Amino acid sequence: MSNSRNFIDKRNKTIISAILLVWGLVTVLPFLWMFLSSFKTNAEISQMTQSFLPKRWTFQNYENLFISGNFGVYLKNTLIITASSFFGLMLNAIAGYGFAKFNFFGKRILFLAVMATMMIPGQVTMIPVYLILNQVKLTNTLLGILLPGLVGAFSIFLFRQFMFNIPNSVIESARIEGAGEWYIFWHLVVPMSRPVIAVQGILTFIGGWNSFLWPLIIANNQKYYTLSVGLQLLQGQHTSDYGIQMAGSSFMVIPIIIIFLIFQKYILQGFSVQSEK
């Protein structure tokens, strides 16, 4: 009896492994194809049937990205925006702490207002935000690109959830010893919140690196384009030059995959959404 159960379990496991293997291969295939094609010459890429590996490896596509594709400028802008988004992360953490550990007049209604912004689709705010930024002359500036997405309700919410569980006694005893509120935040709360800061930090980096909609709307000048807007422009200009397109895509995707692989254990743990008890 127990033997046949074991046999069934083993057989099931084999079937499931086989399904997962095929599914996994289909999932990686686009990445492999992108990466390998980025090293192919244009002559090879426009042939009807292609081999999977490049016949002759070339870095020409990557060189073209920076020579004719302006990717150096896009990279610089993207890095500035990504770095600045960490300032936003800090504002989120500070606000999360404020909501978790202070009692003040209007707290409930303010927190509800923050949560309500999560339901507002970007497409509804994009026109008015553009008009606001246009009014204060911030369109076509890097500041205008990064301001609208600087803080986010979901991040504030996650910080609040985590910091709520820091024992009040720790904070109280620091107060009794005469520590100021900001000293307590930077020297006690931040070190204790390392796990949530790690997850949020990585997601902030990924979000900044991938930012597309605001740069697309706010920047009219190539000088302020980010990598994703630049790549979209490149696709429009070099419609059939798939080599340079794949090089541009690889240039955007590979760094993120590397960072993800390094920090995966933090990211993969951060997704518990069970209802609060």
Partner 1 sequence: MRKSLKSKLTPYTFVGPAIVLLLFFSLIPILIALFISFTNLNITGLGDWSSIKFIGLSNFINLFSDMTFLQSVSNTIYYVVIGVPLVVVLSLGAALMINYGQNKFFKLMRLIFYTPSITNTVAVAVVWTYMYNPNNGLINELLSKIGIPGLQWLNDPVTAKISLVILALWKGIGLNMLIFLAALQGIPKSLYEAAELDGANRWEQTKHITLPSLSFSIFFVLVTTLIGWFQFFDEPFVMTQGGPLNSTNSVALFVYQNGFQNSNFGYAAAASFVMFVAIIAATSIQFRIQKKQQGVS
Residue 189 is classified by DSSP as I
Report if residue 125 touches partner 1, rule: CB under 8 A.
Answer: yes
Report if residue 130 touches partner 1, rule: CB under 8 A.
Answer: yes
Report if residue 55 touches partner 1, rule: CB under 8 A.
Answer: no
Report if residue 275 touches partner 1, rule: CB under 8 A.
Answer: yes
Tell me, rounded to whole angstroms, the distance of Cα 180 from its chain centroid: 34
Report if residue 34 touches partner 1, rule: CB under 8 A.
Answer: yes
Please state the closest distance from residue 205 (CB atom) to partner 1, in A.
Answer: 10
Task: Report the C-alpha dihedral over residues 42, 45, 46, 47, rounded to 10 degrees.
Answer: 130
Which are the contacts of 252, defined by CB distance < 8 A and separation ≥ 6? 209, 210, 227, 228, 231
Q: Which stretch binds partner 1 (CB under 8 A): 53-61, 62-70, 166-174, 209-217?
A: 209-217
Alpha carbon separation from 189 to 66, 121, 174, 183, 185 (Å, rounded):
44, 32, 11, 9, 5
Tell me, rounded to whole angstroms, the distance of Cα 152 from its chain centroid: 13
| Rounded Cα distance, 153 and 156, in Å | 5
Q: Could you say which residues in the range 183-202 bind partner 1, by CB under 8 A? A: 185
- Name which of 60 and 235 has its Cβ closer to partner 1: 235
Report if residue 43 touches partner 1, rule: CB under 8 A.
Answer: no
- Name which of 24 and 195 has its Cβ closer to partner 1: 24
Residue given tokens 């079937």 in the structure block? 15
Q: Could you say which residues in the range 94-123 bind partner 1, by CB under 8 A? A: 94-95, 97-99, 102-104, 107, 110, 113-114, 116-117, 119-123
Q: Binding residue for partner 1 (CB under 8 A) from 6, 7, 11, 27?
A: 27
Q: Binding residue for partner 1 (CB under 8 A) from 30, 76, 222, 223?
A: 30
